[in-house]
Each structure stands twice: as structure tokens, then as C-alpha cells.
Amino acid sequence: MVFDFDGTLADTEEKAFNIYNELATKYKYSTVTMEELQHIKNLHIKEIKKIVDIPFYQFPRAIKDGQKMMREESTEIHAFSSDIHDFFTQLRKETDHIGILTSNIKKTVAQFLETYEISHEIEFIMCSALMSKAKKIKKVLRKYDIKASEMLYIGDEVRDIEACHKVGVDVIAVKWGYNTSVALEKCKPTFMIDSIWDVLEIVKTKNQSQMR
């Protein structure tokens, strides 16, 4: 089991929105209104780059600054599900490995796991560049000797689904995250869910089918 972080486990949308606009002022690229954000949530990241018009040479620095600012507010990042501790306690009984693959930085994720007292349930935190998740998923498969058919990835963005399709991994798309349900459905995830607890039922069903 591999989870995305932002938009899947952690509600960081408002913080990311505010950080983006603060950096837009600093680096002199286009700011985004809340109304525009709702439109952007239907788009692919490649389309978003054209709208926000961040110069290519500034993009890495802006990402780095944004991650640092998010890290400074990490103690205030909330989980989408208040019962996330109970969820991971139950999930651990159904799977051998649980990890997080994220474009965020490890310190931010680690602080979140500590806040919700679930650090002991998470075997690894792996960081990835925005468009490199497919390579990182392959790395997880190799490191833990897992077949692609045995893995489930849980994410909230179109790029999560595309990365999983590239490596043949089943992907669960959550409806509460960054991209809208309409955008996610177009990419044909293996499953779409309304609650984090739906993951547990999917895992149980998958385990039963593999035992046959």
C-alpha cells in the first residue's frame, strides 16, 4: 500500500493556495483567485503550468521555497479523516507494507505522522519530483520485492493515476483531494472512493482474490 500525502491524507489545499500567491508576488508571476482555483482543479498539471505562467527557470526555486514554507506550518496541517489513527491500525492488519510517496518534503510528512501518532504504522516515506512518480513506484516494487499486481496506490491527482497506469499498478482515486472527480474519472482509475475507510474494503477484497 502506497499513499500520496497532500490532498489524500493531509488537507493542505488552502495552505498551498496561500503559499502559491505569496510566492507569485515574490517571483512576479500570475496569482490565482479562489474562483480560478476551482477551474484549475479540473486541469492536468501541464495545462496548469501554462495558466500560472511560471518561468521555467524559476520553477525549481519556487517549489523549494513553497515546500519550506509548508514545512514551517506542518504542525497545523490537518488530516481529512479525524479517525486516521484507527484507519491505519486496521489497515496494518491487512497488508505487509504501508508507505507514503509524495512530492512534499519528508520533514513535513514526518511531522504529520507524529501529530496523529501513526509514524509506527508507516514503513517508509519516499519523496518524488512532480512528474517522476512512476519511477519511484518502480523503486518501491523492486525494494520490497512486490509485484505490480500486488500494489495499490492511493492518490488525489491525475498525475497519480497516469503514473500508476505506466507501471501497471492499481490506483485508488480519492474524491476529496486536489483534482475534481470529473478530471479523475477521465483518466480511468481502478477505483474511486468517498471515504478513506473504503480503502480497507478494497484491500480485503484484493487479498481474497489473490488467495484463490
Q: Are residues 137 and 38 in the same domain?
A: no
Q: Are residues 142 and 54 in the same domain?
A: no
- The pLDDT tens digits for 94-129 are 998 999 999 899 999 999 999 999 999 999 999 988
Q: Are residues 104 and 57 in the same domain?
A: no
Q: Are residues 167 and 94 in the same domain?
A: yes
- The pLDDT tens digits for 179-207 are 999 999 999 999 999 999 999 999 999 88
Total domains in the chain come to 2
Q: Are residues 186 and 90 in the same domain?
A: yes
More confident residue, 58 or 169: 169
Q: What is the 3-state secondary structure (H, E, C) of the chain?
A: CEECCECCCEECHHHHHHHHHHHHHHHCCCCCCHHHHHHHCCCCHHHHHHHHCCCHHHHHHHHHHHHHHHHHCHHHCEECCCCHHHHHHHHHCCCCCCEEEECCCHHHHHHHHHHCCCHHHCCEEEECCCCCHHHHHHHHHHHCCCCHHHCEEEECCHHHHHHHHHHCCEEEEECCCCCCHHHHHHCCCCEEECCCHHHHHHHHHHHHHHHC
pLDDT average, residue stretch 39-50:
79
Q: Are residues 105 and 149 in the same domain?
A: yes
Q: Are residues 106 and 199 in the same domain?
A: yes
Where a domain ends, among 43, 76, 109? 76
pLDDT average, residue stretch 137-149:
94
CATH number for position 159: 3.40.50.1000
Q: Are residues 90 and 49 in the same domain?
A: no
Q: Are residues 69 and 110 in the same domain?
A: no
Q: Which domain holds residue 30?
A: 12-76
More confident residue, 60 or 101: 101
Q: Are residues 93 and 173 in the same domain?
A: yes
Where a domain ends, among 57, 76, 95? 76
pLDDT category of residue 212 using cuts at 50, 70 and 90: low
Q: Are residues 31 and 114 in the same domain?
A: no
